[in-house]
Amino acid sequence: MANSEPASWWRGCAIYQIYPRSFQDTSGDGSGDLNGIAKRLGHVASLGVDAIWLSPFFKSPMADMGYDVSDYCAVDPMFGSIEDFDGVVAEAHRLGLKVIIDQVLAHSSDKHPWFMESRASWGNPKADWYVWADAMPDGTAPNNWLSVFGGPAWEWDSTRRQCYLHNFLASQPALNFHNPEVQDALLDSVRFWLDRGVDGFRLDTVNYYFQDRQLRSNPPLPAGPVDKDAEANPYLYQHHLFDKTRPENIDFLKRFRALLDQYDNRASVGEIGDEGRSLETLAAYTSGGDKLHMCYTFDLLGPQFSAAHVRQCVEAFELAAPDGWPCWAFSNHDVVRHVTRWAKPGSDPSALARFSIDLLCCLRGSICLYQGEELGLEEAELAFEDLRDPYGIRFWPGFKGRDGARTPMVWHCEEDNAGFTTGRPWLPIPPGHRARAVDVQQAEENSILQHYRAALSMRTRHPALRSGTIRFLDGGEDVLAFIREADGEKLLCAFNFSELPARWTPADALGAVTALDLGGYETAVDGNGLTLPGLSAFIGTIG
């Protein structure tokens, strides 16, 4: 990118996540590809976002849909070629979009040459590149660590006659970050993509890089009520003190940042899955200016949806890391789409979609959108025989997996497979999604798609929303209210989380408030406060 661009472009940016397998197919094999991404980038640019995030497209056996990498510097043939990737970068840059790619560094595929060499013997050059341990004398696992995807986190290898660690699938062995050669090799792969012109990296499972050297067992969670997710997955019964979020992570993140700083205007965003201490970890990983540029957690990607919860998350981060930077998201490829996750019986998903993007655009931090949310797509209901996600297959029916959020994009209502492919799509396209296709909403003045464009445009036009400070006001039980301020601009933001009308009167006089036109809301403003319809937003200038 041009050196004249600001190095802090990432601060307050809007990122659009593309799940390559489900975006656009141009080959007719039913799976999306890089040429399809290039073809549809005009739609992404029209939203008013700043960057795209590409989920993995690297060479992979696809046991976990590309999050099991067998070659960090190659494109999997199902997505195209390295030249096709270069074409995506060129087209994105032509449209003014930055390119962020996923880096899955915590583990590789068991088909990666590194692991194949490591498992061959105890004494080969890569014997210590993965986390190996002897089984207990009775043949059981070295400790009590569990896999996120079910069962023990250890797999016996009959050739080496030891167990190797896998935090996810058995085909995703954990790399040994205590070995500096492993760190060097992974950073070399990052440098490969930097040299190809990518603008940033999303680091998958960024707090899983190191494990306790002594391999101590995790304690159970403190006694208390068990939520419904924990009932489906015993992983959530442990307090993960020793298998992730280890202090050594900080030094590696500093090495990673130092590499990025050798290039102009590059950025990084980390994914933190850290039950009970995620905001604390986010603060540690983004503060100081020498680690990650920003991180996101699952705190706003869960079932909780209330004014109090959002305020608590934002204020907790602001207190812990005043010099750090969050990246907020409501949906991604790993969770139920938020218009389904947060819906109450009888609620209007379209109203929830509009409300959510307005709220997201007003939060302090960068923001991340997931493909299809700009159409208000709801979670797909899939039959067990249609599932491709190993996580969902393992825990069905208590947990139905992630495929419901990964179904193909719907581009044209009347075309075969909604314009996604001329072949058989790798996941079914829900009939209900067709009515929300891009071509339908493009023609509707008040569609969710048009509302997304308006909200993102508002965020871009107002520096207070993109980079300003945030100060919360007392809004009562259902109203979230705060002031964003920067460069002499002061904005009042108020959100009624209830589906019933709410009256909000600030404790202190705010002065004259002029509403910004978001469309779709009938908020009444008077000298004493606001009358907010159910599930509505108000953004206005003060003074």
Catalytic residue among 33, 76, 102, 271: 271
Nearest to 400 by CA among 246, 153, 228: 228
| Strand 489-496 to 524-525 pairing | unpaired
Angle at 407 between CA 401 and CA 411, to 5 degrees: 165
Among 204, 299, 379, 478, the one annotated catalytic: 204
Q: How far are the Cα atoms of 205, 210, 497 from residue 180, in angstroms, in the given order?
A: 19, 12, 49
Tokens 């041009």: give the residue: 2
Find all residues with CB under 8 Å of 319, minimum gap 6, and list them.
Answer: none
> Residue 298 and residue 363: Cα distance in Å, rounded?
16
Residue 278's contacts (CB-CB under 8 Å, 6 or more residues apart) are 272, 297, 298, 299
271 as an active site residue: the answer is yes
Tokens 């500096």 belong to residue:
180
Separation CA 175–CA 168 (nearest Å): 12
Dist CA 331 CA 28 (whole Å): 28
Q: Packing angle between helix 34-47 and helix 448-461, nearest 10 degrees? A: 70
How far is the C-alpha of 364 from the C-alpha of 148, rounded, in Å?
31
Which residues, in sequence order, are bridge partners of residue 471? 483
Distance CA 433, CA 409 (A): 9
CA distances (Å), 334 to each of 99, 401, 458, in order?
A: 21, 8, 28
Separation in Å, CA 155 to CA 182, 203, 399? 21, 25, 23
Q: How many CB atoms lie within 10 A of CB 412?
A: 15
Question: Which pair of tokens denotes residue 201?
Answer: 């990296």
Indicate if 403 belongs to the active site: no
Work out the number of other CB atoms within 10 angstroms of the CB of residue 39. Answer: 16
Which residues are tagged catalytic?
A: 204, 271
